[in-house]
Amino acid sequence: MAGANRPGPQCEYNVPEDVEDGTMCRAESPLPGPVGVIEGQPWPSAAAPLTSPVYTSTVEVLFSIAPQLTWDGFQRAAYDKLNAALQEQANTLLRRGNITYQEMENLVNARNSSLLRIRDRLTSFGEMYSEILKPGASLRGAEQLLREKGSMEAVLESVGNTRQVVDRIGIVSRIGGPVTIILEISIASVVIAQAPPREKGRVAAKQVGGSFFGVLGGSGGLWAGCAGGAALVSWSLVIPYVGEGAAGTGCLVGGLLGGLGIGFAARKGGERIGEGAYQFITELHWTK
């Protein structure tokens, strides 16, 4: 076994006296163990890759925006399900025929109402991004849609349509967000567990402070970056349809950059605040 054999020839040489003679080599063998581990040195920690500097820093950066995007992603999923149910009702009316104006108007109003209700639950970044793509004050009613599409059948065929780009962003957020949150909790737990016994409290305060302020900074950075990015391309709003998409892209890119950058900076500040608070509390002496 590597790291456990004695140097020198084996078998007929250096054979202990208590090994019986025989026609084949009979010598003592080391106990089974991992190859390449040097005797007397600790085994490599399984948590070492989890807490490597590059990996840890990457997760810390992403965690600053993960909770907000995760929340918005699940709200988007709820909105998609509501729209799918409305579209199924519309399809039932289309198969039946003899659609009345009141039935069409009820479905359009239900779609607009569900959109506004879900939008109220979004984060500040998600609400701003949604407002840029489809302002709530300018949602089209049944009469306007009927003029644009020409028939009630055409209106009902698209009553449950959603933006595919936003749907894809929602899917990525619902998958990547929870994974990042789990990794952040795992890394923080490992770092605290590996700290020396007398330093566990200080390390825990540092990790909690960093995570808390990182999320706060990420939330503010998402909103500020979205506002700044949309403002840079606000001139495009004069172009119908194209302008909304350009402003939405500017909001999304600016929000992600702002959330990641400001969130990471806030995390580092939060780590110092948490560590300082722990030191202040533990070193505080009460006097009469």
Q: What is the pLDDT of residues 95-106, one digit of tens each?
A: 988 889 999 999
Domain boundaries, the chain: 71-170, 184-281
Q: Average pLDDT for residues 2-17, to the nearest whole number?
A: 56
Give the whole-angstrom CA distance, residue 18 versus residue 27: 10
pLDDT at residue number 286: 55
**DSSP E strand boundaries for 125-272:** none
Give the whole-angstrom CA distance, residue 210 versus residue 33: 40
Residue 92: CB atoms within 10 A of its CB come to 10
Placement of tokens 């959330």 in the chain? 259
Contact residues for 166 (Cβ-Cβ < 8 A; gap 6+): 76, 133
The pLDDT tens digits of the residues spanning 148-171 come to 998 999 999 988 888 888 889 999
Helix (H, G, I), strand (E, B) or coil at 122: coil
Give the whole-angstrom CA distance, residue 205 versus residue 272: 9
Is the per-residue pLDDT at 257 higher than 90?
yes
